[in-house]
Structure 1
Amino acid sequence: MASPLDIVVVGAGLSGLAAAIQCALSGHRVTVLEGAKELAEIGAGLQLTPNSTRLLEKWAVYQNINGPCEPATCTVYNYKGKVLAHEDGFDKNNRRKYHAPFADCHRVDLQKALAERAEELGVSIELGTRVTAMNLDADGKDGGNAKRARVMTTENGQVFEADLVVGADGLWSTTRSAFSGCKDAPLPTGDLAFRIVLRLEQVEDERLRKMVKEPGVRFWIGPDAHVVAYSMRGGTMYNVVLLVPDDLPESVARIEGSLDEMRGLFEGWDPVLTQLLECVDRVDKWKLMHREELASWISPQYNLVLIGDSCHPMLPYLAQGANSSIEDGAVLGLLLAPPHFTSSSQLPETLELFQQLRKTRGEAIARETFKQRRDFHLRDGPEQQERDELFLRQLGQSLKGAFPSRWTCPEVQPWLYGYDAVKEVETALAQRKSGAGVDMPQL
């Protein structure tokens, strides 16, 4: 690029690293600022769906993830253990329909693979560098009209200057607060997650060991709660997430959980699940948070843009928090690529197009996660019976119409998994060039 941008990405999470990779591929100078001193094993498993894995494959990242598991089955049980929905060949069906894999992995394995690829492309990743403030009204380069951004950090009072700051610092975003001009705390959703990672050696029962070693996605759904479980790291680890009503104090976002409390909440559920919970020796308890929708993700100076959880955090009930964040990073970087982008003077129209492409979709997915919670958490009664009858009428058949599990729903799944960021950008740029409005795909 004749005039590359100086881009500072705040946050080395999945959205930030995705943006860094695609912006570097588009020819820009990219620095990532991350407050953590190392990319440690925070969090647990991730479900990577085809809308993001097609990007990870394009970036030569997917093949460097440690032991991703492509689940051969996807099964929904009621909380007593009765099969409500089941799909064999789930891995092959996803590749056939979407030309990209559905895979389960550990979050840190993906994060490290993204970071390694970013550094290969010349991205500077500054760990232990926490952003504390920003000035979005600095003078432009060489007296230009475009406002530069100055990013201040706690690391020896360093100051980083940029044509564009990408706010990718997650749910508790500092950049969002700087953007809005006030402290803007996340809001509780009413749910929390018990997050569990089991090693194969912790599981003695042969039936349970088979579950770990032979990858499949499993859901148990019941009154006010549900469970999702899947294999990772080549079938040597098992990720289990228990989603239940939130009872944490308002000021507590994460603590170590009580094993007795966790097991008590699922007493009377499927014996396969309760036996699995007996293998657990520690569990983390996370409050699930969300945020109100913003009017805009772009600063008035067009030198700051928010992506990922900083602007559209989601309940984990469709596994799209990570996947849609990777989409954000890809679309932003692709829009900043030549030949259609050659100068910082094009930032206003480019960022407006980014927002037009991403805001509607990101916020729609976030709303859809609440609908999935409702359908999975029905208490015993007429609505639950109607839901189960809908499940069972199509068990073993090709699904048609709206379906209570959006993971295999023939209406929602293609909207989620069939999204192609590269084609989306190409189409939008062609429409803009022709003078036509940009069409927005809707659910």
Structure 2
Amino acid sequence: MVPEDARLRVVIVGAGLSGIATAISSALSGHSVTVIEQARQLAEVGAGLQITPNAARLLKYWELPASLWEAAAEPTKLTVHRYSGQILAHDSTFDKNIRAKYDAPFVDLHRGDLQLALFARAKDLGVTFHFGERIERIDFDSTVVHSVAGKTFSGDLIIAADGLWSQCREAFVGKKDEPIPTGDLAYRIVLTADQISDPDLKALVENPEVHFWIGPGAHAVGYSLRGGQMYNIVLLVPDNLPPGVSKQAGSVEEMQKLFVGWDPILNKFLTYVTNVDKWKLMHHGEMENWVNDTSNLVFIGDSCHPMLPYLAQGANSSLEDGAVLGLLLGHMTDKAQLPRILRLYESLRKSRGEAIVRETFKQRHDFHMEDGEEQKKRDELFLSQLGKEIKGHFPSRWTCPEVQPWLYGYDAIKEVEKAVAENPDLFSQPTPSRSFCQIL
């Protein structure tokens, strides 16, 4: 807990996962936190999230309620299929292997369950929320956020957690900065166990596993939610939405035609879909800096490193950002340390976040190969290790012995402890003789 005279007034723009996580982490460190959000309320909407050990350990650390874990589904197996249904990779003890390696679980959660649990925890910690407040501009000279409704929110630090379409990012760069299409779109589907009459499919829902189907230019992933009472399917396919349209109601018939000839199990699931939306998958180029020159604005999550969903790290990495930033702010002994702390946060998080973004594009390449020689070599590599301990680089990063530990083994808490130990000059109590310029 920071001393009284080092406590910041923190204004967070955005009440998504990254914003609320940062609010919790900052409040636990002793700072006063206000969150502003353009939506009028938090609703129990959205689809599934795969929470990997790097983030699951943070949810435990933040002491989220037991009800969240009761609403989770922990997959016991992970399987990668060729689009025809042929098994290319299979981990029959996935849950046990993950817990043994990382001392934290891999769980599948409904986004609404996680967001509402984070929200409740933040409120318990005294975080103030203002809904229905869309930002109009930011005055960096006075650290004030102005809303379209005419309200002002002032503080010592503004945290941009407003996602892919970040207005904070536009205020920072001083121009319109719209995201760039990736060439893919997602169909997101949630089915309830009660909707499914087929006994084989119902068993897949009620006994949580993760299944991938990979094919020419597309792939699909399916997994259970809410303890096996729901099934989440994401279909990643070429983007055919009109320019400028990021979301649109989709045609179930059009969606089903895209998967003709794919695994009958996947197609059986798709027969239960009655309506579906199409979401354009977007990204941004890398930002040069995540902290502004006056050190009163810092970026987290999708506002600075939006990710393709192909490694399920968008939410997980955003939770990491919030944990690292809040924990670093918890080591303040003087407000004059803020500029260097923010730059330490940037040095700890920027390279990792951007490296994960690049890795998602590599996973798309390996999962979306057109049929041909490259695909045959990929499948030969898959099959050469089927039923064996995987060695070396592997086309599915979900069980790759090189990429998986890098993603799942990251411990934000330990990273901050290490950084604090390596920077004793930064976190020591400043003496009266040291000027602000010397601290910078």
What TM-score results when the alignment is normalised by the length of structure 2? 0.94
| CA distance in 1 between partners of 2:171 and 2:422 (Å) | 34
| CA distance in 1 between partners of 2:118 and 2:134 (Å) | 20
Aligned residues of 2:44 and 2:116 also touching (Cα < 8 A): no
Q: Give 2:333's match in structure 1, choosing from 339, 342, 352.
A: 342
Does 1:2 pair with 2:21?
A: no
Amino acid of the residue matched to residue 308 of structure 1? G
Give the 3-state SS of the residue equivalent to 2:221 in structure 1.
strand
1:260-312 CA-to-partner distances (Å, cap 9, x unmatched) read 10000000101111111001111110000000001001111100001000000
Aligned residues of 1:330 and 1:421 also touching (Cα < 8 A): yes
Amino acid of the residue matched to residue 257 of structure 2? G
What TM-score results when the alignment is normalised by the length of structure 1? 0.94
Sequence identity percentage: 59
Summarize the Cα distance change of 1:62–1:397 in structure 2 as closer, same or farther, 3 Å threshold.
farther
Aligned residues of 2:77 and 2:94 also touching (Cα < 8 A): yes
CA shift, 1:183, in A, is 1.2
Partner of 1:315: 308
Amino acid of the residue matched to residue 295 of structure 2? Y
Partner of 1:409: 400
| CA distance in 1 between partners of 2:66 and 2:377 (Å) | 43
1:161-200 maps to which residues of 2 (within 5 A)? 161-200=154-193
Partner of 2:147: 153
CA shift, 1:200, in A, is 1.0
Does 1:32 pair with 2:35?
A: yes
1:77-134 CA-to-partner distances (Å, cap 9, x unmatched) read 0000000000012112111110111000111110000000000001011111222211
Does 1:251 pair with 2:212?
A: no
Aligned residues of 1:131 and 1:151 also touching (Cα < 8 A): yes
Does 1:94 pair with 2:98?
A: yes
Aligned residues of 1:163 and 1:303 also touching (Cα < 8 A): yes
Does 1:375 pair with 2:400?
A: no
Amino acid of the residue matched to residue 269 of structure 1? W
Give the 3-state SS of the residue equivalent to 2:146 in structure 1.
strand
Partner of 1:229: 222
| CA distance in 1 between partners of 2:409 and 2:89 (Å) | 22
| CA distance in 1 between partners of 2:379 and 2:306 (Å) | 29
1:174-225 CA-to-partner distances (Å, cap 9, x unmatched) read 1111111111000000000011011111111000000100000000000000
1:318-345 CA-to-partner distances (Å, cap 9, x unmatched) read 000000000000000010013xx12221
Partner of 2:19: 16
1:387-398 maps to which residues of 2 (within 5 A)? 387-398=378-389
Partner of 1:125: 129
Off by >4 Å, runs of 4+ in structure 1: none
How many residue pairs get aligned? The number is 422
Aligned residues of 2:133 and 2:147 also touching (Cα < 8 A): yes
| CA distance in 1 between partners of 2:72 and 2:179 (Å) | 31
| CA distance in 1 between partners of 2:66 and 2:397 (Å) | 27
| CA distance in 2 between partners of 1:91 and 1:39 (Å) | 31
Amino acid of the residue matched to residue 135 of structure 2? V
Does 1:361 pair with 2:352?
A: yes
1:184-333 maps to which residues of 2 (within 5 A)? 184-333=177-326
Partner of 1:431: 422
CA shift, 1:434, in A, is 7.5
